Structure 1
Amino acid sequence: MFKRPPTDTHFILLTLALVLVMAVPTFNTLVSNEEISEEDVLMVSTTLASRTPASVPAVAPMKVESALSNLTAFDLSCPKPGLEAISVTGSFVQFQGKNCLKNYKDGDVEIVNKSNGYTASVFSRGINKYQTDLIQLQKGENEIAIRYREGSGKAVEQIIRVRSSQI
């Protein structure tokens, strides 16, 4: 009439029995020496070769290029006014250089591609030296403005034209 409630020992013994019931057939299949026929191997290989994921459409393989393969680095140390257009074959350009203005306020350089509105990040590389991140170009003519700020607060702007022939 009255039953004792199950104890931890009962649960452990029941779990051990279930593990043994499942382990014996598994161990049996691992140690058996059944030979696999060539027909079975051929059937499995043709089935696997013909299957493709349903969620991925079948397309031709594409060649993927990194952004660095389309990068052109250019030194802008003291660019002269009226500099002719720079031609590049990539879709990115990176500038490095130094400011040659007198009374230059260190760290006040802004570089903007006016053609697409991209503002480059400018990193200081020492006194009056800087380097930009990758500036994205659009195909054709790009007008890039370099703005320096003098110690008095007056902004000086230089325009460089970069012509990109490949995107």
Structure 2
Amino acid sequence: MRLSARSVIVGIGTTVLALTLVGCTSLPGPAATVSTAPPRNAVTPTPEASTAPVAELAGCDTALDDAGNADLAATNLTPVDFAFQNWDYPLLADFAADGVVCKWAGGGDVFVVIGQLAMDEANWETTQAELEAAGYQQDNAGGVDGFTNGPDGEDESYPSRGFAWRDGILYYASYPGILEFIPAFQI
């Protein structure tokens, strides 16, 4: 087998390049040490313990009061597993991953979804500002102060779904009327 001059030149060039790159790596030697101790005169801050209680999320069997469960049962809606869908608001994926999402469905397209996500007030204010910048509006739907109604997409068969925050929990409701059956919204 005879190699062309070009193949030999490319091979030599590749070998020289590889040897050059190997020469650029550091040689073994004493490892550098980095001190993680603070300077002798530095003040080390102590983390402050949070006095705010962590919000406890309700399970799907206790998320609604007895009247809410009876209302769903009267319309033949029963608990089903929730799976995030492309028509859901993106924030609902966080609810599914880090919170609780409950869904009740019947034999057709009718279903009710509520979600709970632990969120302190400062994070809620930031989230609410982001939602409003994306077209969500506070409209107090369903008589709930601070209900943030999401924009309807191309499919307007899911109007008035959105979010409301109470006492360390951000709630999602597929329709605001279901919030009246959640104890946190009962006056």
TM-score (norm 2): 0.25
Bigger Rg over Cα:
1
Structure having the higher strand fraction is 1
Structure having the higher helix fraction is 2
